[in-house]
Amino acid sequence: MRLKSAIEDFETNTLSAIPGLLGRLSYVGRLQDGNGTYDHWGLAKVYGYDAAQCAIGRSHRILLSEVLKKPLAVLLKDVPTSSSNEHLTEREFLASLALAERAPKPLSRAAQAHLRSVLSALSALVESRNGANRLGASQPR
């Protein structure tokens, strides 16, 4: 007898180990094959293929919704943690998130546009911050 549902198990045992909201969104996106099918061997083995698909898909949509509701300032603070966990630069990490095949399926055009604008704004803010850091470092005191 299982004490947890597939989604509770996935969120508690898998997603909770991944730092950063954007990091969790990226992880779940990488589980997807680009057509909306998720591959998580352990979850499918314990709960069955259909339950695993349903749980991961639901988590993916919830994560995307959370990202789209967060202020940019909060997401900007999340970028360094999420990108370093994946051993990517912040720029590389944000570019990988922008890949259309990583978004939950189906995704409305409005949600796609919103996600693109959030990721574009974050990329611009990261570039601006990095440029300001380089400029400040090169100025004599």
Which residues, including other chains, have CB under 8 Å from residue 126's CB and lie 6 or more apart? Answer: 76, 79, 90, 91, 94
Length of the chain: 141
State how far the Cα of 38 lies from the Cα of 105, in Å rounded to an integer.
11
- Which pLDDT band holds residue 55 (cuts at 50, 70, 90)? very high
Q: Which of the 8 DSSP states describes residue 32? A: B
First to last CA, the chain: 67
pLDDT tens-digit map of 44-54 = 999 999 999 99
Rounded average pLDDT over 78-87 = 94
> Omega before 106 cis (within 30°)?
yes
Contacts of residue 54, defined as CB under 8 A and 6 or more positions apart, other chains included, come to 6, 7
Mean of pLDDT values over 8-14 = 96
Calculate mean pLDDT across residues 103-132. 91
Give the lowest-confidence range in 20-24, 68-72, 104-108.
104-108
Look at residue 112 and tell me whether its pLDDT is greater than 70: yes
Averaged pLDDT of the chain: 90
Domain residue extents for the chain:
6-138
Question: Which pLDDT does position 59 carry in this prediction?
Answer: 97
C-alpha gyration radius of the chain: 17
Task: Say how many C-beta atoms besides its own lie within 10 A of residue 123's C-beta.
Answer: 18
Lookup: tokens for 135? 């400029």
